[in-house]
Each structure stands twice: as C-alpha cells, then as structure tokens.
Structure 1
C-alpha cells in the first residue's frame, strides 16, 4: 500500500511538472504570437 501510494504520488508529481512546463511553453508561444500581431 505504501509503495503504491509512493508511485502514485511520483507519477502525479511528474505529470504536474510536465503540465507546468507545457503551460510555460504555451505562455511563451502566446506571448510571441501576440507580439507579432501587435507589430
């Protein structure tokens, strides 16, 4: 049970990190696209 919980938390954390990285990339892309539209 403890091992399963640890693995579950590990995958949750890993997915969260990927999610955060993805959000940062999307934010940068949106910023660049908005920048081009303004110019």
Structure 2
C-alpha cells in the first residue's frame, strides 16, 4: 500500500520535472522543494 504523501510527492516531482531540459537540475530541485512547501505541506 502506498501512502498518500508518497503519491503527492511523486506527482509533484513529475509536474516540476517537465521543464528540466530547459532550466537544469539545480533549478528543478529548488523549484520542486518550493512546490512541495507551497502546495502540499501548507496548501
């Protein structure tokens, strides 16, 4: 059984990875962390 938080984290990762080729890995990791904070931890 997969926990809801794992599903949300995976979903967020996939969403933020979309522009990876254009922006680079460092920006993606920063954006991913900000996305999770804004949209999942404190919606």
TM-score normalised by length of structure 1: 0.43
If you compute each CA radius of gyration, which structure gives the higher value, 1 or 2? Answer: 1
Identify the structure with the greater helix proportion. Answer: 1
